[in-house]
Chains A and B, each alone.
Chain A
Amino acid sequence: MNAIEIEDLSKSYGSLQALDKIVLAIPEGSFFALLGPNGAGKSTLINILAGLTRATSGRAAILGHDVRKEWRQARAKLGVVPQELAYDPFFTVREMLTLQSGYFGFGKENRAWLDELLETLGLAEKSDTTMNHLSGGMKRRVLIAQALVHRPPVVILDEPTAGVDVALRAQLWAFMRDLNAKGHTIILTTHYLEEAENMCETIAILDRGQLVVNTAKKELLSRHSWRQLRLQLLPASGLDLPDSLVEKQVAAPAGELLLRLHREEDHIGEVLTALAQAGIKFSDLKIHEPGLTEVYRELTDKGKNHD
């Protein structure tokens, strides 16, 4: 079964089309990244799934439960870590978790799980501290704990590491990996593309309300056809490139040669032989394979060029 199923989902605010006929299926148990620039519609999509926003048309379901018709079951299956650092200033960390657990219908029987969450997220020592006395990072951990009080099989993290230091970020990702290994579906939105690249198997990119891509990470990365070969030239090196490589040269600092090579058509061995034959000598070389950042830029820039 799919953790999330979205069919022809649209949302408009007056003349603004926030989402335009989105079709998306996220398999159960996956670690999924939902990327896109600001205003792409990511938060609108998440809010529709969470029941905070009502779609103009189309359908969305969580583990088979329609978010409008079977909203209680849908919400019970979903945990959302919101982007904003919202907190209730009246209560301590433990009280917040107890209340949130109660909202989902869990009583004292859930106490052991709440203790485990406090421990795992490094909140045990702060469990009796009121929320307004916590640092930003601690508040972020509480938000994550709150989203997990009812052990939701599907977890959405909306920019969970915004403003979080490196150590906590690593801790959070280890925790999320562990949850995913236990069968939870994790859906992540982030502006840190390296995080998405490291963590997620499948990546979808939204741009101006439209789903630009939805595919496996490997396939997505292989779509970018270019890589860069950077050579550190020796002082005695010649500078006349063979004709076959002239068009592939791109601007580089003095003393370096930078070539943009096609991943499949330009074989590195042949390029190096051609350079050697042309008398180009170098002391070091680096090959830069494209990452998600390049693919993301290419996909989201493409649209902008059509404006």
Chain B
Amino acid sequence: MTNFYGFYTLLLREIWRFLKVAVQTILTPVITVLLYLLIFSSVISSSRQMLPGVNYLTFLIPGLIVMAMLQNAFANSSSSLFQSRLNGNVIFVLLAPISDYEIYAAFVGAAVVRGILVGTGVWLAACGFAFVPIKHPFLALVFAVLCTSSLGALGLVSAIIADKWDHISAFQNFVIVPFSFLSGVFFSIKDLPPFWEQASHFNPFFYFVDGFRYSCLGISEIRVGMSLGVSFFFFLISSFWALWLLLRGYNLRS
């Protein structure tokens, strides 16, 4: 037995929540990414070939889209659930006949929606700098959903584990941001020293970026099948972690 309408309402609530503060949750991230684009496109020659036949701007934009999606998907579920825990209003969901799986799906679903909205905004705005085609739209959507749902699940994990905003902020600044900056968004990992090139292969965000870049440009640093597999595996791991905490009732039910 499922409570589909309950899940749907919670999903709607989560989307409604971030749309009520859309300047903060949609517009600001888009502008932040555009600033990156402006700065990097100014200091690095656009004619530089990052991949065969791909100049720097065209290389950069898909990476920035993924970075924006990752960070905003994480921010959405982590801030929403943690704020609900702090305010005590998470009780309204916990008292309802909504299962932990449905809670997971609603929070992660809203993170996917926000991530993709921000990603679309970045793509549209970036087209003012350089048009980036999307050669494989379905594959692009798959990577977008995999990266945003993985980070949505990690956002849930941090919101459940955290005891104060400091913890959420630490997770974001010491894990999410460094991993996304070092995932080949701004550079090709082949330009790195051998050690860091190898280390990059252990960064799951690299596979999101490279797979999405392939979906847009039709060219990538590693095989797209590999990116798809690792991305899916990371999605499973992060989802399992979030569900395990929810099912245990950790910090939610005593």
Which of B3, B8, B253 meets A52, CB within 8 Å? B253
Q: By the criterion CB–CB under 8 Å, are B9 and A86 in contact?
A: no
Chain B: which residue is nearest A73 at the CB level?
B97
A161 CB–B CB distance under 8 Å: no
- Please judge, given known A-B contacts A71-B97, A76-B97, A90-B17, whether A103 and B92 are in contact too, CB under 8 Å: yes
In chain A, positions 86-117 with a C-beta closer than 8 Å to chain B are 86-91, 95, 99-100, 102-107
B5 CB–A CB distance under 8 Å: yes
Bound Cα distance A107, B6 (Å):
10
Bound Cα distance A152, B87 (Å):
25
B79 to chain A, nearest CB (A): 11
Bound Cα distance A77, B87 (Å):
25
- Contacting residues, chain A, for B20 (C-beta < 8 A): 90
Q: By the criterion CB–CB under 8 Å, are B254 and A103 in contact?
A: no
Q: By the criterion CB–CB under 8 Å, are B96 and A104 in contact?
A: yes
Main secondary structure of the interface of B (DSSP, over half): helix
A47 CB–B CB distance under 8 Å: yes
Chain A: which residue is nearest B20 at the CB level?
A90
A82 CB–B CB distance under 8 Å: yes
Which of B3, B88, B91 meets A105, CB within 8 Å? B3
Which of B5, B84, B94, B97 meets A88, CB within 8 Å? B84
Bound Cα distance A104, B4 (Å):
10
Bound Cα distance A80, B96 (Å):
10
Number of interface residues of B (CB under 8 A): 29
- Please judge, given known A-B contacts A51-B94, A54-B249, A75-B96, whether A103 and B10 are in contact too, CB under 8 Å: yes
Q: By the criterion CB–CB under 8 Å, are A51 and B95 in contact?
A: yes
B12 CB–A CB distance under 8 Å: yes
Number of interface residues of A (CB under 8 A): 33
Bound Cα distance A89, B95 (Å):
19
- Contacting residues, chain B, for A50 (C-beta < 8 A): 94-95
Q: By the criterion CB–CB under 8 Å, are A84 and B5 in contact?
A: no
- Contacting residues, chain A, for B17 (C-beta < 8 A): 90
B93 CB–A CB distance under 8 Å: yes
Bound Cα distance A80, B253 (Å):
15
Contact with A along B1-42 (1 / 0, CB 8 A): 101011011101100110011000000000000000000000
Which residues of B come within 8 Å of A, CB atoms?
1, 3, 5-6, 8-10, 12-13, 16-17, 20-21, 84, 87-89, 91-99, 249, 253-254
- Counting from the closest, the 6 A-B pairs by CB-CB distance are A102-B9, A86-B88, A103-B96, A72-B97, A75-B97, A88-B89
Q: Could you list 13 A-B pairs, sorted by A, with CB under 8 Å?
A: A13-B254, A51-B253, A52-B91, A53-B254, A54-B249, A75-B95, A88-B89, A90-B17, A102-B8, A102-B9, A103-B10, A105-B97, A106-B5
Which residues of A come within 8 Å of B, CB atoms?
13, 47, 50-54, 71-73, 75-76, 78, 80, 82, 84-91, 95, 99-100, 102-107, 146
